[in-house]
A = this chain, B = another copy of it.
Amino acid sequence: MARTQGSHSGTTRPRVRAAAQRLFAQSGYAAVSMRQIASEVGVQAGALYNYTPDKQALLFDLMQQHMDDLLAARALQTHGAGPLAALEQFTRFHIRFHLDRPDAVFIAYMELRNLTAPHFEQIEQLRRRYESELTDILRTGQRAGVFEIADIPVATRAVIAMLTGVTTWYRESGALSRVDVEDVYWQMVRGAVGAR
């Protein structure tokens, strides 16, 4: 009737997050109820409030965690020797990181609308930070005459959109390995920025 045997917050908390992430990615934040998440975890809805103050906080947490992870992982990357190597590295990093976390990526992109304004602003800042990594690479390459780009902010957005689109179709069981996918995207990105 009350506490379930074997329950422990160290176990339940991550399961709540995982269930929320999966369901939000699958059906969308607004379409998923707390009772559904709870059911996925195997608890009643009231139990979720031990792990999140409310539904919005749960979403924000997931999105912020994703962005923090992305920026942290990016910061650990060694940066390539020149603009071209840097761009290649960014491209491969982006594909690799995003393919490891399709649900988190999907939510980070698709659920911005469901954030409150302050939360939205916070996530946007993190996104802009990540984008500026690419902008810097492109700018350096343009200055060095390695790239030929008509408009760097537009190019940044175009490349990010292209790369991030990979999560919408890639399947592990598909004909292409991850390295193949990285290679194809890299070839396209270098071409898109007029690399020589």
Contact = CB atoms under 8 A, between A and B. Distances in A.
A160 B158 CA distance: 10
A189 B161 CA distance: 13
A164 B27 CA distance: 22
Nearest to A164: B161
B31 A114 contact: yes
Given A114-B28, A114-B31, A187 B157 contact: no
A61 B100 CA distance: 35
A154 B170 CA distance: 9
B27 A28 contact: no
Contact of A28 (B26, B28, B161, B181): B28
Interface string A179-191: 0110111011101
Given A188-B193, A193-B191, A158 B151 contact: no
Contacts of A29: 28, 31
Chain A interface mostly helix, strand, loop or mixed?
helix
**Copies of this chain, count:** 2
Contact of A183 (B150, B164, B184, B188): B150
Size bin of chain A's contact surface: 35 or more
Contacts of A180: 151
A48 interface: no
A165 interface: yes
A30 interface: yes
A159 interface: yes
A3 B26 CA distance: 42
A57 interface: no
Q: Which of A31, A113, A114, A192 has the most CB of B within 10 A?
A: A192
